[in-house]
Amino acid sequence: MTTAMTSRDARSMAWQFVAPSGVAAPLALANPDDCPKGAVVVPAGELAAHLRSAGWPAVVAPDLGRAAAEFADSHGSATTELLGRQVAPGGWLLVGAANAWYPGNHAADACLTLARLRRALRRAGLRMEAVYLAFPDHRHPAVLAAAGSAAALDQVLFRLPTSYVAHGGRWHRTRRRVRTLMALAAGSAPHRLRVQFAPGYLVVARRPT
């Protein structure tokens, strides 16, 4: 078994479980290994060559921050709007983004609040269809919890491990312990605040036909 095979983290493919079905070839700004067969995988730096006047039936950017970095978009709003405008009528957009209000996110990363993400989608003419909270983050979502259900989020926070951190980094155990304590604290907070301060979001939006 090669080193590449042993280091593969399948959590980065979790977005496929909440993406709408029925699209054979979505435009995807993602790692090719994280995408379904048939996806048109494009590096963010080459997006301009794949823009269509008629749009795409689906557009996927599971890590909006990395895509935004190619466009020097510090928050990700402009990138969200650009991708949203590439969605054809009846099509959908899926984006994953770090939450600007989550204390554990780095200021250097492209981060969006849920409100800012919603406004960018609205400017692109899309309607937000579903919001998922990503634990421990949107890049490696071991758990995706529907934002609208307080009871479902309770089950996640109290019964499922949401404190995963990447191996090999500095202070691995300390960071995992901090995340565990933050999850426990979130369990007793009002649901509105838990959504507002989640680590990251995975959002599905659709353009009306």
Domains, the chain, in order of start with CATH, read: 9-149+195-206 (3.40.50.150)
What is the mean pLDDT of the segment spanning 65-92? Answer: 90
Alpha-carbon distance 100 to 121, whole Å? Answer: 17
What is the mean pLDDT of the segment spanning 170-194? Answer: 64
34: which 2 tokens? Answer: 């994280």
Helix (H), strand (E) at residue 93: strand 87-99
| 176 DSSP 8-state letter | H
* Phi, psi dihedral angles at 131 (to 5 degrees): -130, 130
Alpha-carbon distance 96 to 202, whole Å? Answer: 4
What is the mean pLDDT of the segment spanning 17-36? Answer: 93
Helix (H), strand (E) at residue 56: strand 56-61
pTM of the model: 0.82
Chain CA centroid to CA 116, Å = 14
Give the torsion through C-alpha atoms of 155, 161, 166, 168, to 10 deg.
170
Distances in Å between the Cα of 186 and the Cα atoms of 116, 123, 168 are: 22, 32, 27
CB 91 within 8 A of CB 129: no
155: which 2 tokens? Answer: 């089950």
Burial class (CB in 10 A: 0-12, 13-18, 19+), 173: exposed
Residue (of 82, 183, 74, 85) closest to 136 by Cα position: 183
Tens-place pLDDT, residues 101-142:
888 776 656 789 999 999 999 999 999 999 999 988 888 888
CB 64 within 8 A of CB 78: no
pLDDT, greater one: 182 or 48? 48
Confidence of residue 179 (pLDDT cuts 50, 70, 90): low
